[in-house]
Chains A and B, each alone.
Chain A
Amino acid sequence: MKYLPSRRAFIAVSAASVLALAACGSGDESSSGGSSAAPAASKLVVIITPSPDNVFFKAEQDAAAAQAKSLGYETLVLSHDDDPTKQSQQFDTAISRKAAAIILDNAGADASVTAIQRAKDASIPTFLIDREINKTGVAVAQIVSNNAQGAGLGGQEFAKLMGNKGEYAELLGKPTDTNAGVRSKGYHGILDQYPDLKMVAQQSANWDQAEALQKTQTILQAHPNIKGIIAGNDTMALGAYAAVQASNKKDIVVVGFDGSPDVVSSIQKKGIKATVLQPASKIAQMAVDQADAYIKAGGKTDQPEKQSIDCVLVNPDNADSVKDFAVAGS
């Protein structure tokens, strides 16, 4: 097609830069860099995530694409909108374009397995980020943030902010999403240890901001003595905080999960009290780095398949050093 010449030039430049990188690197793998660059059209990294509507996934996309470009790859960034069928079609695209690797934040722990297997059969390695699948040995790596550990951090901070006592409500994520359950379990692992902390309402707001607003308003009606609201993610925390602001009980503690820029800036303004930052950018970069190493090693990896990256608590003490889902210096 029309863009072939420029693409050829791009491949040449990127191959050269890979060689240059390899040359100034440790040197013991320099031969593999050249050999894997030899087959044509294998410099494409396909990045598939849920909708970038949520800044979290946007940060993932951006970090992965930037890292792939800096390593000399061409990128194709797609969004499956949490639809496994759409994701499957996007895998077909990746396969027909002979991608070198796929970086995937998947659309379903079970529903994604066949598509990843299909890519594997076509010798295209898939590196999972953020969400796991219910099968091992299909993807090369599954790099996820440790939601259970993160929820533990969030639960501890919430209990501390509540003074270890009083009534609270919990906003759950989308019931079909594994992380919604993992986070809730993590919260309760801590909160249920305090006999004076009493959960008086638990509702799903489907990760949605407006739904969280309305449900929180109704919950506050039903339980006027609520002192805190713990939410399964940051968009729901923002909705809950809007409801708290509109009520006459502005000292209600709101805690979220994700570390999104909007919530971090709310923490800086003494609005929402805390959130748990998932190192989305770091995980996306790691996946690309490992994909690159895997390609250069001719289809081998020295990393375990399941990798879990710890989350970081964000509160007014460190909110100033958070940017794009990363805490400076971590």
Chain B
Amino acid sequence: MTDTHVAAPAPTAAPQPEEPGSTALARAALLLLRGRTLVVLVVLIIIFSSISSEYLTQSNLILMTKHVAINAILAIGVTFVILTGGIDLSVGSIAGLSSMVAGGLLFKGLNFPGGTVFFSVAVVILIGIVVGALVGAVNGLLITRFRVAPFIATLGMLYVARGAAQLHSNGGTYPDLAGTEARGNTGFGFIGVDSILGIPVAVWIMVAVAAVAVVVTTKTPFGKHIFAVGGNERAAVLSGIRVNRVKIAVYVISGACAALAGLLLTSELGAAYPDTATTYELNAIAAAVLGGTALAGGRGTIIGTVMGAFVIGFLSDGLVLVGVSTFWQSVVKGAVIIFAVITEQAQQRLQSSLTRRTA
């Protein structure tokens, strides 16, 4: 988590020879700043657990982590996009759309002229994720082939996907997703309600998604390409990276992650409604930024983003737990995000001055 370091062949990543003395204090400060998300998280836990004895209990930590899981999965997807210098505002709506698609398949099946077909839960989940990936692919195509700015393309998709979710049920809610034995579609609650070894399945899924994302971003050529596109797109083109392919891929990943998050939320709720995950895109972007991902692209880590999601989740749940009013919850959350970006800037300045001094 202290590794908000540049993880790409970018110019500032020059090796820094050790030099004792005057810079030692600056180095310590830098280390603290790099690990600031963790520091903030620890501070939050100390504050809340001193106010309420219920905060730092095993069951509450598990519950909060479960709440974090949904935002973390959304944020991991968004991080891929932001690393390329793009943005994805449509993830909340994609989560809502995939939630409605899955809800509809479970509740009323798929109508064919010959009759109604019901799919097993595994197939429904797969279809939900594929829908999200497809919407992401459309985002990617709009941005690469039609040269629409990512902000605009995904802003448009925010409305389109939300509208599609509402159209899916004509605005209604699919109230019961339990399925029946006869239809062979029971068990949707598994991903959102059940636990394995005392840990909610949703948390295991978050861990799995994060692990895969860490490997993809740090250990694969595709990961290097993502950072290269975000760091300097022109250079990436010149070095032979298929920039458009990389870009489409990150929006597909973001769409699929959003769909997965929507399915987890829907599974836990046991009902699908078209407003599911409204404005969640903002929480996801906030988590990425809190975790040290630069909106300009080229810099950030998956672990940082997950830590950011933990800070937001542990903060929101803590405020609810100790009974703070909704208005103050909003103010505090915003202030923490701004504070995080300020420290991010401080880190950048300190880092570049250190680099200069030691070079």
Contacts and interface: CB of A to CB of B under 8 A. Distances in A.
Given A217-B63, A218-B64, A222-B52, 14 more contacts: A53-B273, A172-B326, A175-B327, A201-B323, A202-B323, A203-B326, A210-B269, A213-B269, A218-B317, A218-B320, A221-B59, A222-B323, A239-B269, A242-B271
B166 interface: yes
A175 B328 CA distance: 13
Nearest to A262: B175
11 contacts: A51-B166, A52-B170, A55-B173, A172-B326, A203-B323, A210-B269, A210-B276, A218-B63, A222-B320, A222-B321, A262-B271
Contacts, number: 84
Contacts of A245: 270
Nearest to A217: B63
Contacts of A58: 170-172
Contacts of A213: 268-269
7 pairs of A and B residues whose beta carbons are closest in the complex: A52-B171, A204-B326, A262-B175, A222-B321, A221-B60, A218-B320, A222-B54
B59 A51 contact: no
Contacts of A208: 275, 278
A246 interface: yes
B320 A203 contact: yes
A173 to B, nearest CB: 11
Contacts of A202: 323
A215 interface: yes
A226 to B, nearest CB: 12
Contacts of B57: 221
Given A208-B275, A210-B277, A175 B54 contact: no
B interface secondary structure, majority: loop
Nearest to A174: B326
Interface in A21-54: 51-53
A99 to B, nearest CB: 23
A209 B323 contact: no
Nearest to B99: A210
Contact of B321 (A206, A218, A235, A239): A218
A208 B322 CA distance: 21
Contacts of A222: 52, 54, 60, 320-323
Nearest to A203: B320
Contact of A242 (B270, B274, B277, B325): B270
Interface residues of B, number: 34
B269 A53 contact: no
Interface of A: 51-53, 55, 58, 172, 175, 201-204, 206, 208-210, 213-215, 217-219, 221-224, 235, 238-239, 242, 245-246, 261-262, 265
B160 to A, nearest CB: 15
Contacts of A238: 175, 271
B124 to A, nearest CB: 19
A53 B275 contact: yes
Contacts of A201: 323
Contacts of B325: 204
Contacts of A265: 175
A53 B320 contact: no
B271 A246 contact: no
A229 to B, nearest CB: 14
A217 B276 CA distance: 18
B175 A214 contact: no
B107 to A, nearest CB: 12
A245 B166 CA distance: 27
B67 interface: yes
Interface string B320-355: 111101110000000000000000000000000000
Nearest to A172: B326
A39 to B, nearest CB: 35
A238 B325 CA distance: 22
A209 B320 contact: no
B269 A209 contact: yes
B206 interface: no
A262 B173 CA distance: 9
B173 A221 contact: no
Most B CB contacts (10 A, CB to CB) among A204, A209, A214, A265 go to A214
Contacts of B175: 238, 261-262, 265
Contact of A53 (B54, B67, B166): B166
A215 B320 contact: yes
A265 B175 CA distance: 10
A224 B274 CA distance: 32
Contacts of A175: 326-327
